[in-house]
């Protein structure tokens, strides 16, 4: 067996060439642990209850293959034996032994299942030492680098260091005792009671907050919607509400630039539509009003990421932001506009959607911050049927309200709340009959009844009763939903 085999961890793939000291490894611990697992598969569960150990933590390539063979069979409900493991390991000589002979040797040197976690810990610590050595070289490379992406490189290294640190915290894998969880829940309730305000992030839009309350730490909130239904508009209003309350916001915008988002916000307070801003169709009075009313926005702690990112890049950027500013609202608009990497490039759209929402939920919990993500509805969910137009067709088109099951990729599986804005007006516009037909007058009547109206639908919730609906107004020039119960509409936007 080659005691100086190439390192296995992903952190160690780019080690410098040239003379180096021997890398830390604990071959005996690897052999003893694998032997224990071959003799008694329950040793795997004993290890998993204490540490997070993967094949990449083993120094020897053959050990990695054996460990991964054992874990895959056990997870599939099969019994891992010397015979079944042999079929999953690359054929070859290990020193002067065949694979079968080596597996038999491992079994003969097995340790007790009671000691298995200790050996796993020794393997993990040796792997961490190798990772730190690799990081030191990579940090040196970054320091001498003349590339413009030095910040991204540094953030990447910091993420790796965090991974190494977390892996060494074996006590984290024991979980939180329910006694501590109860105390934490009571503390949170008491804090909310004393401050006479709920904990979390206030979205600042009463029709929504009346259904779901504040956006809580660790929550994933999905805003679903079809084109022209207002999901980006509602997201912008939530961002504005959170930012006005003094909370930081990190906004991944795959559709709109930071400047376009700013124009939308200026439109809501200055009453100057975005199209007029873009074309310069403003007078001195308009511009002065825009300057005055937009000044408070400059104090908002909102960072907009316009650059397309992969899921891993997004995770690192959001993590860096939260470490700097504390618990924040993380916004993704939208899920389908996250860049694919080599591992997700071949996934279908619905598969990728599931992958993203699962990762975003984990991110929310890791950062103890709410994550708000926009998602598209399945194709043709709200498409109007224009084949046979009659009185009933108009009402059928607007009575079909979207449900959580209409989201692409079953995003609701990971969501704490699913919010779907709905507007009948764009659907009816697709059904407009010829002006010379008798139906046009009836269409106008239905259209007039739906003009400048909308609904906010709580389509799914882990905390509150669902479904719920709130009637809202729609201000087209400002592209915002309006709280019809508010006495001061401008302040609510």
**Is 191 domain-assigned?**
no
Residues 293 and 388 in one domain: yes
**Is 182 domain-assigned?**
no
pLDDT of residue 129: 85
Task: Please give the biggest Cα pair distance in the chain.
Answer: 92
Say how far apart CA 186 and CA 193 lie, in whole Å.
10
Last residue of a domain, one of 157, 174, 191: 174
pTM of full prediction above 0.85: no
Residues 309 and 374 in one domain: yes
Find the length of the chain: 493
pLDDT at 351 > cutoff 80: yes
Residues 64 and 127 in one domain: yes
pLDDT of residue 436: 83
Nearest one of 307, 297, 200, 300 to 248, comparing CA atoms: 300
Q: How many domains does the chain fold into?
A: 2
Last residue of a domain, one of 127, 157, 174: 174
Residues 136 and 213 in one domain: no
**Is 189 domain-assigned?**
no
Residues 169 and 241 in one domain: no
pLDDT at 9 > cutoff 50: no
Rounded average pLDDT over 347-362 = 87
pLDDT of residue 10: 44
**Is 60 domain-assigned?**
yes
Say how far apart CA 140 and CA 132 lie, in whole Å.
12
Rounded average pLDDT over 297-315 = 88
Give the bridge partners for 375, in sequence order.
224
Nearest one of 282, 235, 279, 273 to 256, comparing CA atoms: 235
> Mapping DSSP to helix (H, G, I), strand (E, B) and coil, where does residue 215 land?
strand
- CATH number assigned to the domain comprising residue 114: 1.10.860.10
pLDDT of residue 188: 58
Last residue of a domain, one of 174, 189, 223: 174
Residues 293 and 392 in one domain: yes
Residues 167 and 210 in one domain: no
Residues 134 and 234 in one domain: no
**Is 193 domain-assigned?**
no
**Is 100 domain-assigned?**
yes
**Is 305 domain-assigned?**
yes
Identity of the highest mean pLDDT range in 89-98, 178-187, 202-211, 409-418: 202-211
Rounded average pLDDT over 45-73 = 88
Phi (first) and psi of residue 164, to 5 degrees:
-60, -45
Instruction: Indicate the pLDDT class of residue 469, thresholds 50, 70 and 90.
Output: very high
> What does the buried/exposed string (b/e) look like for 91-101 if buried means 16 or more CB atoms within 10 Å of the residue's CB?
eeebeeeebee
For residue 433, the enclosing domain spans 199-492
Residues 211 and 122 in one domain: no
Residues 149 and 207 in one domain: no
pLDDT of residue 388: 63
Say how far apart CA 11 and CA 13 lie, in whole Å.
6
Residues 93 and 165 in one domain: yes
Q: Which of 13-17, 44-48, 380-384 has the lowest mean pLDDT?
A: 13-17
- CATH number assigned to the domain comprising residue 361: 3.40.50.300
Residues 248 and 153 in one domain: no
pLDDT at 231 > cutoff 80: yes
Nearest one of 236, 245, 302, 246 to 269, comparing CA atoms: 236
Instruction: Indicate the pLDDT class of residue 485, thresholds 50, 70 and 90.
Output: confident
Instruction: Indicate the pLDDT class of residue 14, thresholds 50, 70 and 90.
Output: very low
Tens of pLDDT, residues 391-426: 777 887 778 788 888 887 777 788 999 999 999 888
- Better pLDDT: 5 or 379: 379
Q: CA 460, 421, 199 angle in degrees (round to 5)?
A: 60
Does residue 334 have a cis bond before it (omega within 30 degrees)?
Answer: yes
**Is 422 domain-assigned?**
yes
Tens of pLDDT, residues 369-387: 999 999 988 877 766 554 5
- Better pLDDT: 169 or 171: 169
């Amino acid at each position: 067996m080659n005691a100086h085999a190439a390192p296995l961890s992903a952190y160690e793939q780019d080690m410098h060439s040239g003379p180096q000291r021997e890398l830390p490894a604990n071959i005996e611990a690897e052999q003893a642990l694998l032997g224990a697992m071959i003799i008694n598969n329950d040793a795997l569960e004993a290890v998993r209850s204490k540490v997070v150990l993967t094949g990449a933590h083993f120094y020897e390539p053959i050990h990695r293959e054996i460990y991964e063979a054992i874990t895959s069979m056990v997870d599939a409900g099969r019994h891992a034996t010397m015979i079944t493991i042999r079929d999953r390991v690359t054929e070859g000589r290990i020193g002067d032994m065949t694979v079968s002979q080596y597996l038999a040797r491992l079994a003969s040197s097995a340790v007790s299942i009671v000691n298995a976690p200790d050996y796993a810990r020794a393997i993990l610590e040796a792997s961490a030492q190798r990772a730190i050595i690799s990081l030191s070289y990579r940090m040196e490379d970054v320091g001498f680098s003349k590339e413009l992406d030095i910040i991204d490189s540094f953030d990447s290294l910091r993420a790796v260091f965090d991974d190494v640190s977390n892996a060494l915290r074996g006590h984290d894998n024991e979980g939180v005792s329910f006694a501590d969880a109860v105390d934490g829940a009571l503390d949170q309730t008491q804090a909310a009671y004393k401050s006479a305000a709920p904990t979390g992030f206030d979205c600042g839009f009463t029709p929504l907050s009346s259904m779901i309350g504040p956006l809580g730490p660790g929550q994933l909130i999905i805003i679903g919607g079809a084109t022209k239904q207002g999901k980006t508009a509602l997201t912008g209003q939530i961002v504005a509400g959170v930012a006005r309350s003094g909370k930081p916001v990190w906004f991944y915008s795959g559709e709109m630039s930071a400047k376009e988002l700013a124009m939308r916000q200026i439109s809501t307070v200055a009453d100057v539509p975005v199209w007029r801003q873009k074309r310069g169709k403003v007078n001195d009075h308009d511009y002065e009003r825009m300057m005055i009313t937009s000044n408070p926005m400059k104090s908002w702690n909102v960072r907009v990421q316009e650059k397309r990112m992969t899921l891993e890049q997004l995770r690192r950027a959001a993590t860096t932001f939260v470490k700097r500013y504390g618990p924040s609202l993380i916004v993704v608009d939208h899920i389908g506009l996250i860049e694919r990497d080599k591992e997700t490039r071949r996934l279908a759209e619905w598969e990728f959607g599931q992958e993203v929402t699962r990762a975003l939920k984990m991110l929310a919990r890791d950062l103890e911050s709410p994550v708000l993500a926009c998602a598209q509805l399945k194709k043709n969910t709200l498409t109007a049927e224009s084949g046979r137009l009659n009185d009933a067709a108009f009402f059928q088109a607007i009575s079909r309200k979207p449900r959580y099951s209409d989201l692409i990729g079953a995003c609701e599986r990971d969501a704490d709340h699913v919010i779907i804005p709905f507007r009948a007006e764009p659907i009816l516009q697709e059904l407009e009959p010829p002006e010379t037909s008798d139906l046009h007058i009836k269409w106008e009547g239905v259209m007039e009844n739906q003009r400048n109206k909308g609904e906010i639908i709580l389509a799914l919730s882990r905390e509150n009763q669902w479904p719920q609906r709130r009637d809202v107004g729609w201000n087209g020039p400002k592209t915002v939903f309006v709280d019809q119960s508010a006495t001061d509409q401008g302040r609510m936007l």
